Structure 1
Amino acid sequence: MKAKCMMYTLIVTLICCIGLAHSQPVGMTAKNIVFKTLKFKPSIGDSVSYEYGLLKVPENRKVTGTRDIELAVLRLKAKNPTTRSPILFLSGGPGQSGISYIQEDYFQALIFDLQDDHDIILLDQRGSGRSTPSLGFPLSDADNKTIFLDEKRAIKLHNEAAAAGLADFKKRGIDIKGYNTVQNAEDLNDLRIALQTEKLNLLAYSYGTHLALALAREHASCIDQMILIGTSGPNHMHHLPVTYDKQLIRISALAAQDSAINGYVPDMMALLKSQLKKLEAHPVVIPIKDQRFKKVVHVPIGKFGLQLILRLDTGDSNDFIYFPALLYGMQQGDYRILQRYVERRYNQFNGRYGSGISAMRQASGATPDRYAQIKSQGKTAVLGTSVNTPDIYGGWQHVDLGDGFRTPFRCELPTLFVSGTLDSNTPVSNVEELLPWFSKGRQLRVENAGHEDMLPNAEVQKEIIRFFRKLEPSRRSISLLKPRFVSFF
């Protein structure tokens, strides 16, 4: 999630250490945590104490004699201790640092309120953040300027990076088959035991919801309640192209109602289709700054390139508000807005390092029926196959979790699903598929919310607090203001 507020400064003064680690044989975990007490200065108010420690877990529980890895854990103790279960926050990605969320002002506001009567637990999931080992690996120099020209180059780049990653992991003794959502879910149960609590409350966002559901399938008895924000179900890790068509139609309709832009772009969808057709026949070359080598490079953009650029930000209201102006500029021969998007993604895809975290997405996969839908819809969808390029393809070998992982399951846990109507990453339809399987599930719809708009919203936070305090919901829906489109430059 993009930082929306100023970060606070961590004060690294050690106050005390709690507990002692005991040596264990390789692959055996002592389910305790060595906590250190530290302080940080939040955005408002006095310094706050927190506990920081490491939990050892097996790297691959399916392999005898597997080594231990370490997960970073942050705990805020309840201000008024009660018998309520701790609240564990599960971040997105996969690969986001759950601990780093505490740097956000809006997140501080939420967890400090919840901390009145709950311990708050933040976790860097395996392979991410401060947990070790890191799944980052170095990439050799390559000429990747054609990545936005066609999907074959994007897939080739992905597979080349995975091959480099596997070679690096072999040298470092990392078993990439241990980095998937099932192993991740078992980590959460080990964490519960280490925290000496019977149950956990789960506050999950994006990929964190996918992980929460994996835990609920295998260890429902260790969960008290769940809040799933931007839900990705067991069979939702790869996206349906038609979802993005529907989202673009919604964006186009909203732009047509916005006086700042509708005089220039009365029909964004028609303009998008015309620009895709134009690029298919005649790609354009965009000069951008390569941050790695500190020089200007010229990057060709074809139809696939524009599809990929838009697909990456279609669910984010911070970015899709520029789409009409971007397309209008292209129509006029002005590529300044497109240039900013291309420069950002080019440097993201062409950095010095790759990450094995992408293996976790690939491991979750999709059922044959869903893959068939994806393939069929990709032939006619406006954004084509870019919706799942490149992560739907090979790269990481023999990591798939199988269709048993992806099947729906009955769940009796009290569950609040929070869905944004302008979220194409984890659309409302995901929750509609899951709700019949949840006897105590209910949905909170957030009108006009994109993927990143829900958790920071003050009204959503009020409902989160009510749910964890086991109060009746005050509403079934929340309406945000319609997005305001950027008029041009």
Structure 2
Amino acid sequence: MTFRIAPYAFAAASTLFSLSSFAATGSPRHAGETVIETGVAAANDGTTMPYEIGTLYVPENRAKPGSRLIGVGFARVKAAHPTKAPPIVLLVGGPGVTMLDIVLDRDDTARRRVKAWQAYAQVADLIVIEQRGYTLRGDRMEIPSKALPLDRPTVAADDIDVTRDLARRAQAAYPQADLSGYSINEIADDVADLSHALGYDKISALGASFGSQWAFAVMKAHPGLVARAVITSAEPLDYGYDMPSQVYAVYQRIAWEADQDPALKPWLPAGGLVAAMWEVRERLAKAPVTVTVKDANGKTQRVVLGVEDYQSALLDASQHAATFPRFVLNLYHRHYDAWAKDAVAARAGEPRSLINPLINIGLDMSAERKALLRTDPALPIIGSWNFAGYLATKGEWATPDAGDSFRRPVRDTTPVLFVQGDWDPSTPMENTLAMLPWFPNARMMILHRAQHGGTFQWLRTRPELAAKVYDFLRTGEFGDLPSEAALDAVAFEKPDVAVPKGSGTGKRE
């Protein structure tokens, strides 16, 4: 699980809507009601896409009679041609990501994504539902995290402190909200309510990362609603925090290929990229480094970086395979500037969505998985950043514990296509392998070199495979989908330091 928010999560201020602006009709709303408007979006090739954009009204907490109604945004694109396929319900990641900006914005990025939505509409109706508490048609609850000092290394304990501080300020920031209603159970029910409100008794679920976890929750809470599913970058309900050893295995797979690249060899020590990774770790464990850089405003800053800063930065860097070796080798050769600039910006504090901790901490994980997590042999290189803050503040957030009976998988005969990258450090491929026995009608397609993302994002360069996935969404049949495929080779970027003297001798610098 990653706590960072995708860059496209923040729409322009002009596209934001308040719940009241859609409720001002003179009559009270009722649970399950939708308010829908229409529009036309343009793709980057000049074609147009009619769409509906709406608000679904739902109880903030279904367990509490008289709970206030809140708005959840959604969009629908009708199928380009009549089809008998169930609608494709796109479940976004995060938690704390919006996608309605795709039709509301008018920039190049939005126009490119309209093409993707048009492709879905060749198969069936497309429905995109937002997450309560982070929706452009209701509340988007976020508060800034507190800044961290620059004159010492940061450690995972700082993340615990930041998360605890968010928990203390959350209710005061949104006094009208019942924060106990912002759980994965509730957003699963939101999907069912929207499906029924729009007249569908079956859907096809399409989810990646947290969207996959959301899909698992819908299948668990509403058996029979999902006719078929495409799950990418799988995050099972009990796997919200990744095993460090499985993340480390991704580092190793990327490193093995990077070690074969002749362009990188002048900078590689004996033992290759993994050896460089560990040497940086040991160096920083002995003593932190102080780096002087200019921040985004041109101001000179001194920042102290330590081993736990490195663990966190390494996890971030691994999300981009092409630049991952450059990051490691820059640090191995004591070139810290780029890392230091990123650290200065990160320690300044940033807006945090409340839906992320509310859902993830409420979902929690089973005791046996926690025990594995806390004793994992790769913790020295991966660290505990991915889970420390959330596990330590369990009970300080309003959402109730989902319980082991909800977290643990059950046998489900829904046809599921699992698409998984073997270079995915955010949701390692072991997540998907663990789920396969519970879905006897599933098939897994491993994409070599794919990282964290969605099926069709990775299959842009493999259109023949993308067509087969669309066929599965159309018919529910797997056809001749392969069990594995490879994406194009990655062009690794070179380090920012000069070729070291004596390179190619196998000696360490």
TM bracket (short chain)? 0.7 to 0.9
Task: Report the TM-score, using the length of structure 1 for normalisation.
Answer: 0.88
CA shift, 1:185, in A, is 0.1
How many angstroms apart in 1 are the aligned matches of 2:228 and 2:413?
Answer: 10
Relative distance call for 1:60 and 1:298 in structure 2 (3 A) is farther
Work out whether 1:97 is the aligned partner of 2:98: yes
Work out whether 1:276 is the aligned partner of 2:277: no
* Partner-residue secondary structure (3-state), 2:167: helix
Tell me what 2:86 maps to.
Answer: 85
CA shift, 1:378, in A, is 5.9
How many angstroms apart in 1 are the aligned matches of 2:294 and 2:127?
Answer: 40
How many angstroms apart in 2 are the aligned matches of 1:352 and 1:224?
Answer: 37
CA shift, 1:104, in A, is 4.9
Tell me what 1:375 maps to.
Answer: 374
CA shift, 1:254, in A, is 1.4
Tell me what 1:112 maps to.
Answer: 118
Work out whether 1:365 is the aligned partner of 2:364: yes
Aligned ranges 1:438-457 → 2 under 5 Å: 438-452=439-453, 454-456=455-457, 457=459
How many angstroms apart in 1 are the aligned matches of 2:412 and 2:24?
Answer: 38
Tell me what 1:45 maps to.
Answer: 46
CA shift, 1:147, in A, is 7.9
How many angstroms apart in 2 are the aligned matches of 1:469 and 1:351?
Answer: 41
Tell me what 1:309 maps to.
Answer: 313
2:164 pairs with one of 152, 155, 159:
159
The one-letter code of the counterpart of 1:53 is G
Tell me what 1:225 maps to.
Answer: 228
CA shift, 1:449, in A, is 0.6
How many angstroms apart in 2 are the aligned matches of 1:37 and 1:352?
Answer: 31
Assess if the C-alpha contact under 8 Å between 2:208 and 2:453 holds in 1: no
Tell me what 2:65 maps to.
Answer: 64
* Partner-residue secondary structure (3-state), 2:236: coil
Per-residue deviation, residues 370-409 of structure 1 (Å, max 9, x unmatched): 0000110167542232342433320643532121221111
Aligned ranges 1:287-436 → 2 under 5 Å: 287=292, 295-314=299-318, 316=319, 319-343=320-344, 345-347=346-348, 350-351=349-350, 355-377=354-376, 380-394=379-393, 396-397=396-397, 399=399, 400-436=401-437
Work out whether 1:136 is the aligned partner of 2:135: no
Work out whether 1:204 is the aligned partner of 2:203: no
How many angstroms apart in 2 are the aligned matches of 1:142 and 1:428?
Answer: 34
The one-letter code of the counterpart of 1:179 is Y
The one-letter code of the counterpart of 1:209 is S
Relative distance call for 1:147 and 1:445 in structure 2 (3 A) is farther
Tell me what 2:484 maps to.
Answer: 477
The one-letter code of the counterpart of 1:212 is A
* Partner-residue secondary structure (3-state), 1:337: helix
Paired residues, number: 469
Question: Larger RCO: Structure 1 or Structure 2 (Cα < 8 Å, ≥ 6 residues apart)?
Answer: 2
Moved more, 444-453 or 374-383: 374-383
Assess if the C-alpha contact under 8 Å between 2:157 and 2:389 holds in 1: no
Tell me what 1:15 maps to.
Answer: none
How many angstroms apart in 2 are the aligned matches of 1:133 and 1:3?
Answer: 19
How many angstroms apart in 2 are the aligned matches of 1:50 and 1:157?
Answer: 40
Tell me what 2:502 maps to.
Answer: none
Work out whether 1:55 is the aligned partner of 2:52: no
Tell me what 1:214 maps to.
Answer: 217
Moved more, 197-206 or 278-287: 278-287
The one-letter code of the counterpart of 1:162 is A
How many angstroms apart in 1 are the aligned matches of 2:440 and 2:26?
Answer: 43
CA shift, 1:49, in A, is 1.6
CA shift, 1:165, in A, is 1.7
Assess if the C-alpha contact under 8 Å between 1:241 and 1:384 holds in 2: yes
2:267 pairs with one of 264, 267, 280:
264
Assess if the C-alpha contact under 8 Å between 1:226 and 1:415 holds in 2: yes
How many angstroms apart in 2 are the aligned matches of 1:47 and 1:55?
Answer: 25
How many angstroms apart in 2 are the aligned matches of 1:262 and 1:430?
Answer: 33
CA shift, 1:430, in A, is 1.1
CA shift, 1:212, in A, is 0.6
Moved more, 241-250 or 111-120: 111-120
CA shift, 1:164, in A, is 1.6
How many angstroms apart in 1 are the aligned matches of 2:433 and 2:112?
Answer: 28
The one-letter code of the counterpart of 1:451 is H
What RMSD over aligned residues (CA atoms) do the two structures have, in Å? 2.9
